[in-house]
Chains A and B, each alone.
Chain A
């Protein structure tokens, strides 16, 4: 699966970027994400502040899907553009959003 496939699944794209996705990860505790998420991951969270970009850049997360209809901070969008991290939003909760990708074969 590729980052661009997220658009076809109904997630709203906020910043550019593409690449292979091999894993998905759902969590709102940043240290937990740092510790457990693998590279080439799409991350489902409700955290929208700019630090999620740093977490993604360090961990090798390619795309962040912000759930429950939350919106990203301006600063987060700017930083994600710089770091080439793809941001998406969705009104779905993290369980529903992750389930969409899981059923498409992403583990």
Chain B
């Protein structure tokens, strides 16, 4: 779960305006307090819940029953007692207007797995789990895209909720840095060429470096063509993984899902005449990188993080 908290912290900047009602699960399964505890246990087993909000006859929230509570009930032989006797009464709740930043803080502060969302009459209108926070939010906005080569063999679907490396890059020292401070598209790839030379000088193998350089070229070119601003390339090497992070401060991507499609491009004609804008950039990155993550929101720039590690028949050192 620590990893999830980490991810939330890293992306919350991009989502801080999002309110609970936009990503909570609703309607929510609740259970009445006078029912036998064994009913809660069965509901959890069948529906694979790890906790259920408990309500009174007016549908108002009175507690929550979790797997831990069930274990206690089992230990005490209390499974036939009413749920009210075994549930946790001290429940931390959310209102639908609360912002994601506050939710992240509550997860961190209380260590609970879920928070019921209640209205002004204490009726349960939704629930937020850490899982919701990741899946619903990200898939709904589709502004974070993750491709992971390791997953592809067993998950044949694109996924929008893998967890990027838990490394806090802010604390790491970048081994290579390049400012994309030019706007002339014909210079695109200068940083990638520099990076290629740098990596070769550090003893990485030519095949490995080619993959890294191509992916970096595409990300760099995107900054120059699309961002309308400047950007920066940072490279880190940690735990045998090479991490290339290309960030810009420009206009962001409207629809990452569309942008990922091969052949889709928003490049203007003069750019296309120069041989750019074929709509292959992100597809090329995906092909070269073992893992890529894109975070973007209109007006807030783009972060492309690419991870590379050695393949079976490819040594990363020469």
Residues of A within 8 A of B (CB): 28-32, 34-35, 39, 45, 47, 49-52, 54-55, 57-60, 73, 75, 83
Secondary structure class of chain A's binding surface, majority of residues: helix
Produce 1/0 per residue, B271-286, CB < 8 A to A: 0001110101101100
Indicate with 1 or 0, residue by residue over B197-218, a CB within 8 angstroms of chain A CB atoms.
0000000001000100110011
Given the interface pairs A29-B278, A35-B214, A47-B274, the reply to whether A54 lies near B190 with Cβ below 8 Å is yes
Across the interface, name the chain B residue whose C-beta is closest to A75.
Answer: B186
9 smallest CB-CB distances across A and B, nearest first, come from A54-B189, A31-B280, A29-B278, A49-B186, A58-B213, A30-B275, A47-B275, A50-B186, A51-B186
Residues of B within 8 A of A28 (CB): 275
Listed in ascending order, the chain B residues whose CB lies under 8 Å from chain A are 185-190, 192-193, 196, 206, 210, 213-214, 217-218, 274-276, 278, 280-281, 283-284, 287
Contact B218 A34 (CB under 8 A): yes
Bound-complex Cα distance A60 to B190 (A): 15
CB-based nearest B residue for A45? B275
A39 to B278, CA, bound (A): 22
**Min CB–CB distance B83 → chain A (angstroms):** 59
- State which of A31, A45, A57, A83 has its C-beta within 8 Å of the C-beta of B281: A31
Give chain A residues whose Cβ lies under 8 Å from the Cβ of B287: 35
Q: How far, in whole Å, are A50 and B274 apart by their CA atoms in the complex?
A: 10
Report how far A34 CA is from B274 CA in the complex, Å. 15
The answer to whether A49 touches B274 (Cβ under 8 A) is: yes
A54 touches B217 (CB 8 A): yes
- CB-CB nearest in chain B for A34: B214
Partner among A39, A55, A73 whose Cβ is within 8 Å of the Cβ of B189: A55
Is B193's CB under 8 angstroms from A83's CB?
yes
- Residue of A35, A52, A73 ringed by the most chain B CB atoms within 10 A: A35
Contacts A54-B188, A58-B214; A29 near B280 (Cβ below 8 A): yes
What are 20 of the A-B contact pairs (CB < 8 Å)? A28-B275, A29-B275, A30-B276, A31-B276, A31-B278, A31-B280, A32-B278, A39-B206, A39-B210, A47-B274, A50-B186, A51-B274, A51-B275, A54-B217, A58-B189, A58-B192, A58-B213, A58-B217, A60-B210, A73-B186
Task: Determine whether the beta carbon of B210 is less than 8 Å from that of A30.
Answer: no
Q: Is the CB of B284 within 8 A of A31?
A: yes
Bound-state CA distance A51–B280 (Å) is: 16
User: How far apart sit A70 and B288, CA to CA, in the bound complex (Å)?
Assistant: 32
Residues of B within 8 A of A34 (CB): 214, 217-218, 284
Contact between B188 and A57, CB atoms less than 8 A apart: no
Q: Which residue of B lies closest to A50 (CB)?
A: B186
**Contact present for B185 and A51 (CB under 8 Å):** yes
In the complex, how many angstroms separate the beta carbon of B94 from the nearest chain A beta carbon?
45
Known: A29-B278, A30-B278, A34-B217. 13 other contacts (CB 8 A): A32-B280, A34-B214, A35-B214, A35-B287, A47-B275, A50-B186, A51-B187, A51-B188, A51-B189, A54-B217, A58-B189, A58-B210, A60-B206
Give Cα distance in the complex from A34 to B217, angstroms. Answer: 9
* Cα–Cα distance between A60 and B211 once the two chains are bound (Å): 11
Q: Is A35's CB under 8 angstroms from B192's CB? A: no
Q: Which residue of A lies closest to B185 (CB)?
A: A51
* Nearest neighbor of A38 in chain B, beta-carbon distance: B210
State the CA gap A52–B217 with chains docked (Å).
Answer: 12
State A96–B185 Cα separation when bound (angstroms): 30
Chain A's nearest CB lies how many Å from the CB of B210?
6
A60: nearest residue on chain B (CB-CB)?
Answer: B210
A51 vs B182: C-alpha distance when bound (angstroms): 13
**Distance in angstroms between the alpha carbons of A24 and B190 in the assembled complex:** 24
Complex contacts, B185 vs chain A, CB 8 Å: 51
Residue of A nearest to B279 (CB): A31
Nearest CB in chain B: distance from A70 CB, A: 13
